[in-house]
Structure 1
């Protein structure tokens, strides 16, 4: 077996589902069809909660609860993963406290684990949703978030590094707000900031380098999608191949110290990997992805996600779960067929949603198809 896949998915009080269960017998395509608003995206969002982070909508914990469920919710998945058969579970088992806080619990084979990061030992999850369509025309922060999700799928510890960098930058900004701050405290915070900043930049750069190689291979295998090139735009990332981490840390500490007055006036730190950008180029046309047509941008995104999934398979030996939300309906017949061929070659369990069952006509003979209606999901053809 070279693909991790879900055998049974059970939802309790999650989003629009009071109780729902999907049983599957193999990897390969899984199709969820149903009217808009029926709950198709809610189903794959539940699967995305089996990955580190906050899922494909980045929702808060209380937003995930069924409106009539008292604030608790649960997701349980029986999987065949990278370590064999396992049961992964996550959810909220008690309503919010008086301060409004909730604590998400995660379990593997019914035993508590510290976070969803531990799930990455069993399976990896990759997704593409309509909310990602404006990626190339939006702010750099969205592309950094997209890149961090790519890194997280190959390095489950990346989220903790990014969070540590954000905390360090917030601490520095607070100290800069007070003109009487002890400079020794600033030195200490900037020392920590530089360490985690270089670690974040290095993880991003490594993933971009590896993904660049996967994109080159993918171009030969799936020419129907445009050839994409990617690179990181940031001075720190550009120095990494030629300088040691310690040398770059020292340079960044000097920049932070010299820029204190400027950053205090701006109210934020103006230099560092939190300002870097992911640059994507449509090679066939020689233009930045943001200048490509809407259809070409969608095709470029698909290209990136497919190459990333292939990279994960090469690195782990197992194809990740793919979640493709409303992707097929926007492709012409040629690219649709090319996508199905690429997915078949990958061998992953791919969950696809769409309102029009006809869009999946080319794969219904090899897919497990389910019909989603408000609050329920059932195999196609079932009463």
Structure 2
């Protein structure tokens, strides 16, 4: 089991200095709004790759909005203890973040992703089914990254090549066809790799939820609508790359007029359906949407456990308070069945009464944070 056993913060958000130790599989932070509960979950999420559960800029993470900050975590897994640290980089500008693994500077975020995976549910994600296709695509990419640490590199390389292509096409003069062809080749290679990973995860999530891995939560069926994914359903990856290159070469004039690349993996759309009701998630009630999100994340955590040998650390912000008593009990049962560690928050302790005696509780108060008995 991957476990976080110690968390240290320095000038992070509203926590000037904090050193917490954890021994349980479930850890609960309880306290009033504004006490810094979500900040603790965000700090844990930043010990993995990406911009954390808020997607915040590096400069926004510092106490008072300026200056250096640091987060470090001590973990244990089947290989033994290890430590990850992150914070504002001393070089490269205000938006650069440094990572350290056992005291040594990490070469890339992929190196961190190979050791730690975190998945979260926050109140802001309640809008997932009404937000843009881009929001759902980013949600899917976070899930893929937890299973395939190099996925972020493929997506970033695709988007970088596409941005260069868009600039060339919009430059107001005829662009070099050879240069465009080179960029379109890079887009095809990285785009097909990213689309294949997305497509594979969607299929595995659907199989897991059809198998009842989400327990008492309603199963969701996911559908990925993606030009590159559709090609992969019909032909090998190399042929799909060639088809994309040909399509982009043909659409240069149209894309130049639009000021953007109009088709490709960056236009992928992820759709959810409530299986039992055969109803699109966007038309379900708020409670049903929350339950579908929980079932998807639980199925994903189970997949990671089977594929990578450890379940991700789950960060559940204010989730139990938004579930009825039956679904709270189902959530706690599902968490107990997962071979992983969970961190939960709430303003009050009573929604956690059914979580079990093995959970650790911390009370956040104006004077700080302290261990506290449930109730």
TM-score (normalizing by structure 1): 0.93
Q: Which runs of 5+ in 2 are unaligned?
A: none
How far did residue 106 of structure 1 move? 1.1
Q: Which residue of the partner structure matches residue 168 of structure 1?
A: 161
What does 1:12-161 align with in structure 2 at a 5 Å threshold? 12-26=10-24, 28-67=25-64, 71-92=67-88, 94=90, 100-161=93-154
Q: Deviations over 1:303-351 (max 9, x none)?
A: 0000000000010121211000010001011111001000000032100
Q: Deviations over 1:34-61 (max 9, x none)?
A: 0001100000100001111111111111
Q: Which residue of the partner structure matches residue 350 of structure 2?
A: 358
Q: C-alpha separation between the residues in 2 aligned to 1:120 and 1:269?
A: 30
- Aligned equivalent of 1:182, options 176, 182, 201: 176
Q: C-alpha separation between the residues in 2 aligned to 1:377 and 1:266?
A: 53
Q: Deviations over 1:285-311 (max 9, x none)?
A: 111111111110000000000000000
Asked if the contact 1:11/1:17 (under 8 Å) is kept, the reply is yes
Moved over 6 A (4+): none
Structure-2 change in CA distance of 1:111 and 1:170 (3 Å): same
Asked if the contact 2:164/2:183 (under 8 Å) is kept, the reply is yes
Q: C-alpha separation between the residues in 1 aligned to 2:352 and 2:22?
A: 18
For the residue of structure 2 that corresponds to 1:213, the secondary structure is helix
Q: Which residue of the partner structure matches residue 199 of structure 1?
A: 193
For the residue of structure 1 that corresponds to 2:127, the secondary structure is coil
Asked whether 1:248 is paired with 2:240, we answer yes
Q: Which residue of the partner structure matches residue 361 of structure 2?
A: 369
- Greater relative CO (CA pairs within 8 A, separation 6+): 1
What does 1:206-221 align with in structure 2 at a 5 Å threshold? 206-218=200-212
Q: Which runs of 5+ in 1 are unaligned?
A: none
Q: C-alpha separation between the residues in 2 aligned to 1:239 and 1:180?
A: 30
Structure-2 change in CA distance of 1:121 and 1:191 (3 Å): closer
RMSD: 1.7
For the residue of structure 1 that corresponds to 2:296, the secondary structure is helix
How far did residue 375 of structure 1 move? 7.3
Report the count of equivalent residues. Answer: 373
How far did residue 242 of structure 1 move? 3.0
For the residue of structure 1 that corresponds to 2:211, the secondary structure is helix
Asked if the contact 2:192/2:237 (under 8 Å) is kept, the reply is yes
Q: C-alpha separation between the residues in 2 aligned to 1:373 and 1:61?
A: 26
- Aligned equivalent of 2:335, options 321, 329, 343: 343
Q: C-alpha separation between the residues in 2 aligned to 1:360 and 1:194?
A: 48
Q: C-alpha separation between the residues in 2 aligned to 1:24 and 1:155?
A: 28
How far did residue 121 of structure 1 move? 2.7
Q: Which residue of the partner structure matches residue 260 of structure 1?
A: 252
Asked if the contact 2:130/2:282 (under 8 Å) is kept, the reply is yes
Q: C-alpha separation between the residues in 2 aligned to 1:372 and 1:116?
A: 31
Asked if the contact 1:329/1:359 (under 8 Å) is kept, the reply is yes
For the residue of structure 2 that corresponds to 1:314, the secondary structure is helix
Q: Deviations over 1:62-101 (max 9, x none)?
A: 1111118x5111111111024321111111254x87xx53
